[in-house]
Amino acid sequence: MKRLLLLFVFLLSCVSVFAQKEEYSIIVKDIETLEPIQNATVIIMKTQQILLSNEEGKVTFMLTGGSNIQVSETNYENLTVRWTSLNGAQKFVIYLKSKNNKLDEVVLSKESPEKILQKLVNNSIKKISTSHRQKVYVREFFMLDNQYTYYNDGLVNFQFDKNNNATTLLVEQNRSYGLLEADISSDLKGYNLNNIMENYLNFKYLDPLLDSKSKKAYDFTIKGHSTNKDYYVMSVIPLDKAKEAIDNFEIIYDPLKKLIVEFTISVTPASLDKIEEKTKEGEKNMTKSFVNVAYRLNGDDYYLLNSNEEIGYTLVQKEKSKNIQVRNCFVTTGFNKQNFTYDEGDVFKEKSLFNKKNKILTNYWDISGFTATDQEKAIIASLEFKL
């Protein structure tokens, strides 16, 4: 009997060893140029975890056993890779083939671009506004006078309730390194976690183009997507005579499903030159502004996939002005239509993870959707060392 019991314990320990999670890395590259592909979506089919490749084309994840891998990017053909073909390697390269359709001709339509955009926004809001929860990896780099002085990241759960059009936010894990000066007020530290997701879901960034007077300030053009025959691209550029309009917009959309796939908002140096410089203490002069937001349609599910925002400005002060730059990143690593339960005391109501007590349970930053590049790891390590 004792032998049988010992054998059972031995077998159980063997199972637990073999069932342990292992770390894997994937590099996504262009099959022709062999260059890494940034912002490729990698789905681990077994766990449905969503990953996004960084500038090095790299994603990292933890997995028990094996799983097929699904890889997609707007400009490339989708690819599903069987786990058996990867030979169980913990580091491997996946190559994507460019669609290379060259379909960037101007699209003619009976409707004005302004009306098309209005319909796109309305339909996208209607499609995305279902009760759901998203696990999102968020991170923020902060620079003061061209020196990195602060960094934070975290795993955050957003629960969207369509009945009251509001988001509940719970912080699962987080870490913060570095320091910010006392005179840099909290509203200058980047995004507001308690409204940014609602802005993404309501497409608030496109509001300036939905104004009835927008056609007097912007030039609208619609073309076929240069590599993807299923998408159109709407370019919106401020007219020279427009005094307040400075943003360039590019909106990629599906003309059949009438859904926005991605939008980019940027400010050119020429547009910045149009702005009168502010000189009063406490005022801000913009030096850089960039927003890129992508959405994913998976069956009936339509939701935010990722976002990148960069803003730079000079803060006017009595003695010496300060140059401030903030870079934010959101990556959805899990989507579910089931609500989570929570205690009201667990709800996070602050604007940023800044100064929130570190809560580190796992090395979530390595395996939570977006792997830091070697350069970013060096920045984070230098700030951690300063503490």
Mean pLDDT of 357-383: 88
pLDDT of 19 reads 54
Percent of the chain at pLDDT above 70?
88
Residue 235's pLDDT band (cuts 50, 70, 90): very high
Mean pLDDT of 31-60: 92
Percent of the chain at pLDDT above 90?
40
CA distance 48 to 188: 36
Better-predicted residue by pLDDT, 61 or 182: 61
Instruction: Look up residue 373 and give its DSSP letter.
Output: P
pLDDT of 197 reads 87
pLDDT of 180 reads 66
pLDDT of 342 reads 83
- Phi–psi pair at 119, nearest 5 degrees: -65, -40
Residue 341's pLDDT band (cuts 50, 70, 90): confident
Q: Name the least confident of 11-25, 314-328, 369-383.
A: 11-25
- Residue 11 reports pLDDT greater than 50: no
Mean pLDDT of 265-275: 85
**What is the per-residue pLDDT across 176-198, written as a single tens digit (0 to 9) for each?**
888 766 555 545 555 688 788 88
pLDDT of 265 reads 96
- Residue 330 reports pLDDT greater than 90: yes
Residue listed under structure tokens 């629960």:
159
CA-nearest of 371, 307, 375 to 49 is 371
The domain segmentation of the chain, as residue ranges, is 20-96, 113-386
| Domain 20-96 annotated CATH 3.30.479.20 | no
pLDDT of 3 reads 54
Residue 23's pLDDT band (cuts 50, 70, 90): confident
In the chain, beta strands by DSSP E: 22-30, 41-44, 49-52, 58-63, 69-73, 76-81, 91-96, 132-144, 147-161, 166-178, 218-224, 232-238, 247-254, 259-267, 284-298, 301-315, 322-336
CA distance 352 to 156: 11
Instruction: Look up residue 153 and give its DSSP letter.
Output: E
Tokens linked to 110: 């009976």
- Residue 302 reports pLDDT greater than 90: yes
Q: Name the least confident of 27-36, 70-79, 83-92, 341-350.
A: 83-92
Strands 91-96 and 22-30: parallel
CA-nearest of 45, 48, 54, 47 to 27 is 54
**What is the per-residue pLDDT across 129-152, written as a single tens digit (0 to 9) for each?**
888 899 999 999 999 888 998 899
CA distance 364 to 153: 10
Residue 229's pLDDT band (cuts 50, 70, 90): confident
- Residue 204 reports pLDDT greater than 90: yes
Better-predicted residue by pLDDT, 188 or 291: 291
- Residue 375 reports pLDDT greater than 50: yes
pLDDT of 15 reads 46
